[in-house]
Amino acid sequence: VSTAEILKRLIGFPTVSHESNLDLIGYAREMLEQAGAAVELVYDKPRSKANLYATVGPRDKPGVLLSGHTDVVPVEGQDWSVKPFEATEKDGKVYGRGAADMKGFVAAALRAAACASRRELATPLHIALSHDEEIGCVGVRSLIGVLADAPFRPAMCIVGEPTSLAVVTGHKGKANAKVECVGCEAHSAYAPKAVNAIHLATDLVSAIREIQARSAEAGPRDEAYEIPYTTLHVGIVRGGVALNIVPKSCLLDFEIRNLAGDGADLYLDRVREEAGKIVERARPIYPGADIRLEQVGGYPGLETDGRDAVVRLGHGLAGENPTRKVAYGTEAGLFSGELGIPTIVCGPGSMEQGHKPDEFVTLEQLDRCDAMLDRLLDRLEKGI
Ligand SMILES: [Zn+2]
């Protein structure tokens, strides 16, 4: 069975992050077990979702890991001309939610595992399929925990997010934070006697923009990125009840997207420090004034040395594509950072199609990915 046919089945499972992925995992598990793979599922607490980890070939050696996520982003509010959860093939493309991000690679990995069963692998092939990647690389963490305790963890990892099969060695990390600004209510005619929570929030927004400006001017740089420095961004502000009431509460959400070598914690500390100063200025008017900041998610950046064996392997498999760094985040930073597994990102299709209506991957990209994974199997037969 071809990668395109597997992909079409995968698109048919509507695995939007908040939904169960168990039907898709069941399909993958059956296919992998038929290929003689050892398959392990790691469920989430309500047992409505699972990660899958499979090994084809020897079980007492490190091997190479192909990693992908099974969840997709929602389609609500998007103008699709085809059914998002029913694959459509036309003009050399397969359309459907997840075609590019990233069921195309998952399909190719499953096909490779099926092919691997007909070969005599000296080095094992591992497949990792995760849930809840699209909501902040949340699901894969339980799998990382299992791998951390495994006697043989993979020696190298390829995360197949869409890069048009370029070898990607880096992406930024991310930290999300929620902030609650606390002031006190008053009639707006007496505003100077109260603490306006929206004003606390806007002062904090100014401080965040100031930190961002300093990062752009004088922070660490990596010119391999389109935006070569760590960025801060406020995405949501909510506050106020009526024009004639001084608001007592204002909420804001901001994020940090940091270069891998430029820790997000540093920036969170700076924001906290500025919040402290703003609160200090407000407390003489109202001692209960406060700015509460909580980190609510994030993932580490990826920074794989260009001379690492996994990069050479990637070039050997994918061809002499240029090495790149990408703006979006992936699970690669976790495999690399938490487990110390040298990791690259390399997969079929383009993120330009990701998260959009009429998402697609070309058959040409799927064919090239198949060829790349066939070369990987050749290498695994020889023991890399
Ligand atoms: Zn993705």
Q: What is the pLDDT along the chain (384 residues), one digit of tens a residue?
A: 999 999 999 999 999 999 999 999 999 999 999 999 999 999 999 999 999 999 999 999 999 999 999 999 999 999 999 999 999 999 999 999 999 999 999 999 999 999 999 999 999 999 999 999 999 899 999 999 999 998 889 999 999 999 999 999 999 999 999 999 999 999 999 999 999 999 999 999 999 999 999 999 999 999 999 999 999 999 999 999 999 999 999 999 999 999 998 999 999 999 999 999 999 999 999 999 999 999 999 999 999 999 999 999 999 999 876 789 998 999 999 999 999 999 999 999 999 999 999 999 999 999 999 999 999 999 999 988
Q: Is the dihedral of CA 300, 277, 187, 198 positive or negative?
A: negative
117: tokens are 């069963």
What is d(CA 30, CA 99) in angstroms, rounded to the nearest whole number? 21
The answer to whether the bond into 102 is cis (omega within 30° of 0) is yes
What is d(CA 328, CA 161) in angstroms, rounded to the nearest whole number? 10
CB atoms within 10 A of CB 194: 22
Note whether 187 and 358 are within 8 A (CB): no
Q: Count the alpha carbons within 13 Å of 333 in the hemisphere toward its beta carbon.
A: 28
Q: How far is the CA of 237 from the centre of ligand 1 (A)?
A: 27
33: tokens are 């077990």
Q: How far is the CA of 177 from the centre of ligand 1 (A)?
A: 22
What is d(CA 40, CA 143) in angstroms, rounded to the nearest whole number? 10
Identity (one letter) of the amino acid at 19? E
What predicted TM-score, i.e. pTM, was given to this entire model?
0.90
Note whether 51 and 41 are within 8 A (CB): yes
Residues involved in catalysis: 71, 133
Q: How far is the CA of 341 from the centre of ligand 1 (A)?
A: 19
Q: How far is the CA of 358 from the centre of ligand 1 (A)?
A: 16
Q: How far is the CA of 330 from the centre of ligand 1 (A)?
A: 7
Q: Count the alpha carbons within 13 Å of 1 in the hemisphere toward its beta carbon.
A: 15
User: Whose CA is closest to 345, among 140, 79, 161?
Assistant: 161
